[in-house]
Structure 1
Amino acid sequence: MIGVSTYLESRASWGVWELPAALLPVGYPRQVQAAGGIAAMLPPDDPSYARSVVARLDGVVIAGGPDVEPVRYGAEREARTGPPARERDAWELALIEAALASGTPLLGICRGMQLMNVALGGTLVQHLEGHVELPGVFGTHTVKPVPGTLYESIVPDACTGVPTYHHQAVDRLGRDLAPSAHAEDGTVEAIELPSPAWALGVQWHPEAGEDTRVMTALVRAAS
C-alpha cells in the first residue's frame, strides 16, 4: 500500500462540475500499480494524524506541485516564487517526518524532493533558468547518477530525456542528505539518505514518462 500525497485545488472542472478538489495526475497511481503496489491518495489533513496514517502504509510518495513557502526554510519570498500552498506544506512535511521516523520507504518527486530537503534543514534556490521549456509542457534533459548511491543502484546509467518541469532546486543540503544525481548544468537532480534508510528524492517527474525503475524500487523496498 503506497500512499501518494495530492494537490488541493480551490476550483477544478470535470463533466458538468466545477468544485474544490483533492486531485492527482493519473501517472502517479498508474506507476504505483505498474510496479505491483496499491495506490492510496493522501489529501491534506491535520498534520497530527501523519504518524498514524504512515503506520498503515508500506511506502510514501510526496508528489509534485507548487513552490514550497520560503518561510519553511527561513527565506523571504522572491518575486518569481509562486503563491503558498500552506495546507500541503504542513501535511507533507509531517508525512515526511513520520516516514523518516518509522523507516517507511519514502520517495519525493519534484516538490516532494524539495520538501524532503527542507524537512531536514536544507534550503532551496527560488528560481532556476532552463528547466521549464513551455508553461504546462514537460521538457526533457539528461540526468547522471552519482556512483555508489542508492539511485545509481536503481538507474546505473545516464538517463536522457527525463520529464522535467521545475524552476526551483536544492541549494544547501539538509542533514545527512547526499546528492545522488545531477543535470548537465550541475543542478542536483536526486538526493538520498544513507543506508539503512530508503529515502530518495528526484527532481524530475518519472510518473510523466515510461521509465518505471524508480517507482518499482520504492514498491520493492516497501514490500
Structure 2
Amino acid sequence: MMNLFSIFDPMSSTLNFSINWMSTMLGFLFLPHIYWLVLPRINILMSYILNLIHQELKILLGKNNGSTMIFISLFLMIFFNNFLGLFPYIFTSTSHLTLTLTLALPLWMSFMIYGWINNTNHMFAHLVPQNTPPLLMPFMVMIETISNLIRTITLSVRLTANMIAGHLLMTLLSNTGTSMSFYMIFFLILIQFLLLTLESAVSIIQSYVFMILSTLYFSEVN
C-alpha cells in the first residue's frame, strides 16, 4: 500500500531532494511566446482559448470584468499541472493539498475581506436567501455561514481527490500487468489508453471547475 502511494510522495526523487515540486513550473515552458513576427499556431490557439474564457467570465463578473486575467491565470496553472502529471516521471503537484489549499485559501480570504469591508450589508443579506420564513432564518444563517467557511476545503479537496483517484486507478491496473497472460495485456493496454483519455478530460474539467467556482465566489461579494 505504501508503494502504491509513493507516486504522490514529493520526496521520492533523486537523492531525497524534493525536486518533484519543480514540475509545477513546467507549464510556463508551454506558454506562447510574444516575440514572434508571425504568430505560430500554438499562439493562435492559445489566444482563441483565452478570449473564449474571458468572454465567459465577463458574464459572471459584470462590471469587474478586468479581474478575468486572475482567474484565467489560475486556470492555466492548474491545467498545466494536471495535464503534465499524466506524463511518466512528472510529479502531479495538484494531487497535494499543500498546493490546492495554497491556491484556494488566499482567494477565499481576499474575497471575504473585500466583501465584509466594502459590502457589509450585502454580505449580511446574503446569509438569508429570499422568501425565507422568519422561523427558519436563524438556521439559514448558520447553514450559509458553514457553507462559506468550508468553501476553501471543498475547492482544494475536490481537485486533489480527482487527481489522486485517476492516477491510483491507472497504477493499480498497471501493477496487475505482470501477472496477466500475453493476450490479456492487450486488453489492459486498451483500458489504460481509455483511462488516460478520461484523465486528460478530467484535467481540463477540474481546472475549469476550480476557476468557475472561484469566479462565482468573487461575484457573490459584489
TM-score (norm 1): 0.31
Between structures 1 and 2, the one with greater strand share:
1
Give 1 or 2 for the bigger CA radius of gyration.
Answer: 2
TM-score (norm 2): 0.31
Between structures 1 and 2, the one with greater helix share:
2
